Amino acid sequence: MVAAGAGAGPEGPQTMTGGLLVTGTTSDAGKSILTAGICRWLHREGVRVAPFKAQNMSNNSVVVVGPDGRGGEIGRAQAMQAQACGLPPDLRFNPVLLKPGSDRSSQVVLLGEAVDTVTAGNYRQLRPKLAQVAWDTLADLRGDYDAVICEGAGSPAEINLRDGDFVNMGLARRFGLPSIVVGDIDRGGVFAAFFGTLALLSAEDQALVAGFVTNKFRGDLGILRPGNDMITALTGRPVLGVLPFHPDVWLDAEDSLAYGTTLGRPGPPRGREWLRVAVIRLPRISNATDAEALAAEPGVRVHLTVEPGDVADADLVMLPGSKATVSDLDWLRRTGLADAVLAHAAAGKPLVGVCGGFQMLAGTIDDEVESGHGVVPGLGLLPVGVTFAARKTLAHSAGTALGASVHGYEIHHGYVSTGTPEPFLHYAGGQPEGAVAGNVYGTHWHGAFESDEFRRRFLTVAAAQAGRHGFTVAPDTRYATIRERALDVLGDLVAEHLDTAALRRLVEKGPPPGLPFVPPGAP
For residue 332, the one-letter residue type is L
DSSP for 208-266, written as a single string: TEEEEEEEEE-S-HHHHHHHHHHHHHHHS--EEEEEEP-TT--TT-SSGGGG-SB-S-P
Query: What is d(CA 252, CA 200) in angstroms, rounded to the nearest whole number?
Result: 31
Cβ-based neighbour number of residue 215 at 10 Å:
26
Bridge-based pairing of strands 96-100 and 239-244 is unpaired
Query: What is d(CA 498, CA 229) in angstroms, rounded to the nearest whole number?
Result: 15
Annotated catalytic residue 355: yes
Peptide bond into 421 cis (omega under 30): no
Annotated catalytic residue 39: no
Query: What is d(CA 516, CA 522) in angstroms, rounded to the nearest whole number?
Result: 15
Query: What is d(CA 180, CA 77) in angstroms, rounded to the nearest whole number?
Result: 19
Per-residue DSSP letter, 102 = S
Task: Select which of 303, 355, 412, 497 is catalytic.
Answer: 355
Bridge partner residues of 156 (DSSP): none
Q: Which helix (H) or strand (E) segment is 326 a member of?
A: helix 325-335
| H helical segments located in 314-451 | 325-335, 337-346, 356-360
* Four-CA torsion 184, 45, 147, 152, nearest 10 degrees: 10
For the chain, what percentages of helix, strand and coil (3-state, to nearest 5) are there?
Answer: 35, 30, 35
The number of residues in the chain equals: 523
Task: Select which of 43, 303, 344, 446 is catalytic.
Answer: 446
For residue 259, the one-letter residue type is Y
Give buried/exposed letters for 255-269 (b at 16+ CB in 10 A, else e): bbeebeeebbebeeb
The answer to whether the CB of 53 falls within 8 A of the CB of 19 is: no
Query: What is d(CA 381, CA 195) in angstroms, rounded to the nearest whole number?
Result: 54
Count CA atoms closer than 13 A to 207's CA, side-chain side: 14
**Nearest Cα residue to 25 out of 149, 221, 158:** 158
Query: What is d(CA 94, CA 108) in angstroms, rounded to the nearest whole number?
Result: 12
The answer to whether the CB of 459 falls within 8 A of the CB of 266 is: no
**Nearest Cα residue to 96 out of 107, 85, 80, 83:** 107
The answer to whether the CB of 221 falls within 8 A of the CB of 186 is: no
List residues with catalytic annotation: 355, 446
